Amino acid sequence: MSQEEVVNRNLSLQRAEELRESISDYLSVEPFIETGFRVQDRILENRQKILEYFDATQENWDDWVWQMKHRITDVEPLQFLLNLPEKEVEELKQISKRFRWGISPYYLSLIDFENYHDSPIYKQAVPSILEVWDNHGSADPMCETQTSPASRITRRYPDRLIINVTNQCAMYCRHCQRRRNFGEEDHHCTRQQMEEALTYVRNNPEIRDVLITGGDALMLSNRTLDWLLGELDQIPHVEIKRLGSRTPVTLPQRITPELCAVLEKHPPIYLNTQFNTPLEVTLEAKQACDRLIKAGVVLGNQAVLLRDINDDVHIMKKLNQELLKIRVRPYYIFHAKQVKGTSHFITPIETGMGIMEKLRGFTSGLAVPTYIINAPEGRGKTPILPEYLLSLSEDEITIRTWENRVYRYKNRINQR
């Protein structure tokens, strides 16, 4: 090697060591972050306990209809499986009189039965007394009731809208933005309501993007989904269809070959789901995502930033890296909305900003979603970003890199 090559190699080695040191904090904790794959044995043990409780078989477990029929909606299964103390049993019974809840057997199996109080799965699924005490927020912080120009339509943007097709979910997330729609029982919108929504889309040619959600869009039957997607296919100005569904996370059994055959008929389809913790990225979730991808569905993730669940940069980084491994693109991190009954989940804005600071540059760009706050009164998603542009003039800008190094950069290059 020449003298110049030796110098450059030594500089490169020095830089490589600096880069390794910049993520040493993450490398020291990463092996101890629980993921669905790492605790697969525990999940399988829990599954067996649940099957024994319901006197069911593996064939039952793999049937999404069985999973829905056996959602846990009262305290008795939890008391038995988690060995809840009597005080918590009585408290949960009282809470259940105020708030509807339900957990699929599959999602229940992801809880650490021995340490359920600390489980991010338990906290998302099982109601808390904090919901009863909460007097903050509103039932409809997104003002969806005031942005609905037609039946089942929510419209907040110029060229896209939502069709809300159901209030049914496999699991009722305790942080849900549409808690007001839980109601007393599950119900889908009627065919007439869907027709009215479709008529609105047909009559507004600027609409090019339709999101089918709820509740959970995949709670509709295959037949109804096939019909609805087919109707949208016939509208010339609708370019893409999107599905909002947490079933890959809470009920991966719903992603059947029959469902995928329906979805494959109606490209392009984009499905955004909601993985909030690496524990939710399991073998069964991966298999569900593999089936969707094979059917041509493009997958994205919209995590919600939740206190004591994922409000840690290392947890969020690991989540996004695990998602890329199963071919789900991290899309958004939503700041938790100010929904009545959910204040105990809401973090300071600085928490989200701090997470974004430690993602950009410290991991793959593909693993860096956009941090979003939903503006009040249904005014839409607002990106919240760390400040990298420090100054701007006609001739140059001043930028800050992900390593907090400041540089000047020419804004215009005069060509003669």
Tokens of 247: 């079933």
State the pLDDT at residue 415: 60
Tell whether 157 and 67 lie within a shared domain. Answer: no
Instruction: Report, as an integer, the average pLDDT of 305-333.
Output: 98
Domain membership of residue 368 (yes or no) is yes
- The dihedral of CA 169, 91, 180, 376: what is its sign? negative
Residue 219 lies in a domain: yes
Is 343:136 a contact under the CB 8 Å cutoff? yes
Note the pLDDT of residue 185.
79
Domain's final residue, options 104, 133, 162: 133
For residues 171 and 247, what is the distance between their CA atoms, to the nearest angstrom? Answer: 9
User: Does the pLDDT value for residue 142 go beyond 80?
Assistant: no
Contact 329, 300 (CB under 8 A): yes
- pLDDT score, position 137: 82
Mean pLDDT of all residues in the chain? 95
**Last-in-domain residue among 109, 133, 157:** 133
Q: 54 with 68, same domain? A: yes
| CA dist., res. 230 & res. 242, Å (int) | 13
User: Looking at the structure, do residues 104 and 214 belong to the same domain, yes or no?
Assistant: no
Question: How confident is the model at residue 217, as a pLDDT?
Answer: 97
Residues 80-119 as b or e (16 or more Cβ within 10 Å = b): ebbebeeebeebbeebeeeeebbbbbbbbbbbbbeebeeb
Q: For residue 220, what is the domain's CATH number?
A: 3.20.20.70
Identify the pLDDT of residue 201.
Answer: 98
Structure tokens at 120: 């991010």
What six digits make up the tokens of 343?
């204040």
Rounded to 5 degrees, φ, ψ at 303 are -75, 155
CB 89 within 8 A of CB 76: no
Residues 289 and 231 in one domain: yes
> For residue range 71-121, what is the model confidence (pLDDT) as tens digits?
999 999 999 999 999 999 999 999 999 889 999 999 999 999 999 999 999
Domain that holds residue 307: 144-383
Predicted local distance difference test score (pLDDT) of residue 45: 98
- Residue at 70 is within a domain: yes
Q: Which among 225, 307, 275 is positioned nearest to 110, based on CA atoms?
A: 275
**Residue 183 pLDDT > 70:** no
3-state helix, strand, coil in the chain (%, to 5): 45, 15, 40
- Please state the pTM of the whole predicted model: 0.95
For residue 139, being part of any structural domain is answered with no
Is the domain of 26 the same as that of 47? no
Model confidence at 224: pLDDT above 70: yes
| Residue scoring higher pLDDT (380 or 328) | 328
DSSP 298-366: EEEEEEEE-TTTT-SHHHHHHHHHHHHHTT-EEEEEEEPP-BTT-GGGPPPHHHHHHHHHTTBTTB-GG
- For 10-32, give the DSSP string: HHHHHHHHHHHHHTHHHHHHGGG
Per-range mean pLDDT, top range of 156-160, 174-178, 335-339, 409-413? 156-160
Residues 255 and 238 in one domain: yes
Is residue 138 in some structural domain? no
Q: What is the 3-state secondary structure (H, E, C) of 118-130?
A: HCHHHHHHCCCHH
Domain presence at residue 81: yes
* Residue 120 maps to a domain: yes
**162: which DSSP letter?**
E
Mean pLDDT for the stretch of residues 168-181 = 90
User: Within this chain, do residues 227 and 354 fall inside the same structural domain, yes or no?
Assistant: yes
Q: Are residues 196 and 318 in the same domain?
A: yes
Residue 287 scores a pLDDT above 90: yes
329 and 284 in a common domain:
yes
Per-residue model confidence as pLDDT tens digits over 255-265: 999 999 999 99
> Quick one: 199 and 314 in the same domain?
yes
Phi and psi angles of residue 120, each rounded to the nearest 5 degrees, phi first: -65, -20
To the nearest 10°, report the CA torsion of 349, 352, 358, 364. Answer: -150
Residue 149: what are its φ and ψ, rounded to 5°? -75, -10
Query: Where do we find the tokens 């995502």?
Result: 289
pLDDT band of residue 272 (cuts 50, 70, 90) is: very high
Residue 115 lies in a domain: yes
Peptide bond into 268 cis (omega under 30): yes
**Position with higher pLDDT, 186 vs 405:** 405
- Tell me the C-alpha distance between 318 and 322, whole Å: 6
Closest alpha carbon to 327 in 274, 279, 366, 365: 366
227 and 345, same domain (yes or no): yes
Query: What is the DSSP pairing of strand 209-213 with strand 240-244?
Result: parallel
Domain count of the chain? 4
Q: For 12-71, what is each residue's pLDDT tens digit?
A: 999 999 999 999 999 999 999 999 999 999 999 999 999 999 999 999 999 999 999 999
Q: Are residues 175 and 315 in the same domain?
A: yes
